[in-house]
Each structure stands twice: as C-alpha cells, then as structure tokens.
Amino acid sequence: MTPLFPSSSQPDSRRTHITHPALTIYLACMMPPAVLMLPLLLSSFLLLHHVVVDADCEQAACGNLTVKYPFWLGAPKRPMPEPSCGHPAFQLWCSGHGSTFTASMRSSAIQVLSIDYGSNSFVASDTRLTGAGAGADAVCRADFNVSSSLALSPFRISPSSRAIYFLHDCNGTEPIGAGFVNATARCGKPTYACLGGVYDRDTLEPIPASCTFSYLPALASEAAAPGDYTRLLKAGFQLQWAGVGFGDCAACGASGGQCRYSNATAAFGCLCPGDGELRGSTCDGVRGEEGIVHVPVLTPKVSD
C-alpha cells in the first residue's frame, strides 16, 4: 500500500504528490472539532454583538414611558458607549420593581413623567419634592430653584409654565401681599407660597429681607387653597428641548440608518448598514448587507 506521506528513500516514481486543496482537507480531518468550530463561533459572536448593540438603542419602555431617540436608556455603572444612542443629557435611568418603574435624568433628581415627542417637550418633577417620604412635606422642601440644575443642559422651562414663589425662614415677619398664603402645613418653620404669572417673566413686590426666597415652575393655572401647592409640586412642570442640534432621526431612519450621537465630535450621526460607519444625517448612497458576516469556505480543488 502506498503511504500517504512516503519517505524520501522511495523512488521518485512511487511518490504521491499532495496538492494544496487535498492537504487542506487532510489537515481539516485531523483537526479537533473544537478548532474547526472557531470560525463559526467567532462569526456568531460578532453577529450577536452587533444585534445586542443595536438592541440597546432600540425603542424601549420604562413603566408607561416610551423611550426613543433623542432619549435613550443607560445605567449608573454602564460606561458611555461610542457612539452612544443619543446625547448624554438625554440619557435616562430606569429603576423600580414589579409593575412600578420610573425614569430619571442621568445623575440628577429630575424624574421624567411623560414625553411628547411631537412638541419636543416632557413633563418632569423633582424627586426632592416627590420622592419617597416627601408626602405633605413637599412645600417644606421647596427651598431651591430648579433652574440651577438645568443651567448647562439643553432643556429649558416651557414658557407656558407658571411660577410658584416660596418664602422660608421669615423669622416671624409676615410677608406683605395678597397673593401669599401660609402654606406651612407640617413644616417646622413658617412657609409662605404664592402662585405667580409666567415663569421667568413675572415680578413680585419687594421680598422682606429676613426671608429666604425660592421659586419653582408649575403646570397649574390657579391655586385656591394652601393645600394645593403640594399637589402642584407633585404634578411637575414642563421642559422643552430645541429641535436642532440633535439631528433628523426620521430622515436617518427612512434611509435605512440608526440614530446615534458621537461623543468624540459632539455631533449627530447616522449609523449605516453594511460598514457600520457613522455618516452625516442620512445613509443615502450607502449600500451594504446589514448584520451579515461572511465566513470563507475552503473547497477542494481537483488537480488534473
């Protein structure tokens, strides 16, 4: 029987010449099955990774809240991806258990109650006033200005909001003005409140120098009794974001792309199928097969 690998001592006429394809088949037969599975496992991993990354940016739900671009879901210990699913300011953290979940702005006390994507606005509240344990003490805790936490964000308080003014630590000095009512409730010190006009445009009579002054936005049109101020604070306020600067996600999606945000360039990008590259506002002119990983297959070549 002629050996597959004859020794060099055999005459040249009896040697068996192994072509490259035949050698490939022989080596493949001699390899352990685990080694042969490596290319398939690698391609499956890459495809799975592609699907998981895309799934992170898909429309999601947090309780009754629908989360989609420019908003996106993140997590406290999850590193910021590059590109990310949206601008960092629009990242929401979803928390809760059972059937109760709430969404809050990343690293802030602002809780998102509802989103109107058509008008680029959402209703929010401050957990310092509405969180667990606040109860009827929300008025007592209203000694800060919400605007200070929005100073560096792309959000602004809606012009339709009204202002609630609060006076604390008046040291027994009753504020002068028909609009102020004693809203102390269960506070350990007197607190006075007044529902004013349009937020950031309304003016008040001079505030007593002995009082600490704060004001917050509200959705309400009127408040008839002191107890209404707690209700108004819990109902929240409306915030808006500009329609420019965060890209045309609808146009990107219509062209077959997915909306992303590049933190490196601080700009919107359209993630296009095929090459997985960020483009401008759309993927027009880009062709490719999304999500397909090509694995080379070795086929034997019959020599003449």
Residue of 269, 265, 263 lying closest to 283 (CA atoms): 269
pTM across the whole model = 0.70
Residue 133 resides in a domain:
no
pLDDT tens track for 61-105: 999 999 999 999 998 888 888 899 999 999 999 988 777 889 999
Residue 198 resides in a domain:
no
pLDDT band at 300 (very low <50, low <70, confident <90, very high): very low
State the average pLDDT over residues 105-130: 90
Higher pLDDT residue, 258 or 151? Answer: 258
Asked if residue 15 has pLDDT above 50, the reply is no
| Other CB atoms within 10 Å distance of the CB of residue 285 | 8
Q: Annotate 83-110 with three-state secondary structure.
A: CECCCHHHEEEEEEECCEEEEEECCCCE
> What does the mean pLDDT of the chain come to?
74
Residue 7 resides in a domain:
no
Q: Which of 142-146, 171-175, 269-273 has the lowest mean pLDDT?
A: 171-175
Residue 77 resides in a domain:
yes
Q: How many domains does the chain have?
A: 1
Asked if residue 176 has pLDDT above 70, the reply is no
Residue type, 4: L
Asked if residue 264 has pLDDT above 60, the reply is yes
Strand order across the beta sheet in which 100-105 lies: 72-74, 91-97, 100-105, 110-116, 121-126, 237-241, 155-157
Identify which of 52-66, 217-231, 233-247 has the greatest average pLDDT.
233-247
- Residue 225's pLDDT is what? 67
Residue of 109, 142, 129 lying closest to 214 (CA atoms): 142
H-helix or E-strand spanning residue 233: helix 228-235
- Measured in residues, the chain has a length of 304
> Which residues contact residue 291 at a Cβ distance below 8 angstroms, ignoring those fewer than 6 apart?
47, 50, 51, 273
Q: Which structural domain, as residue segments, surrounds residue 267? A: 38-120+242-294
Higher pLDDT residue, 18 or 52? Answer: 18
d(C-alpha 297, C-alpha 145), whole Å: 65
Residue 270 resides in a domain:
yes
In terms of Cβ atoms closer than 10 Å to its own Cβ (0-12, 13-18, 19+), residue 166 is: buried
d(C-alpha 190, C-alpha 192), whole Å: 7
Residue of 126, 218, 138, 214 lying closest to 170 (CA atoms): 214
pLDDT band at 168 (very low <50, low <70, confident <90, very high): confident
pLDDT band at 28 (very low <50, low <70, confident <90, very high): very low
Scored b (16 or more CB within 10 A) or e, 186-217 reads: eeeebbbbbbbeebeeeebeebeeebebebbb
Report in angstroms the alpha-carbon separations of 102 from 19, 64, 129.
66, 9, 15
Residue 185 resides in a domain:
no
Residue 42 resides in a domain:
yes
pLDDT band at 241 (very low <50, low <70, confident <90, very high): very high
- Residue 92's pLDDT is what? 95
Do the Cβ atoms of 293 and 300 come closer than 8 Å?
Answer: no
d(C-alpha 230, C-alpha 236), whole Å: 10
Residue of 212, 218, 214 lying closest to 230 (CA atoms): 218
Asked if residue 118 has pLDDT above 70, the reply is yes
- Write out the two tokens for 225: 């009794």
Residue 88 resides in a domain:
yes
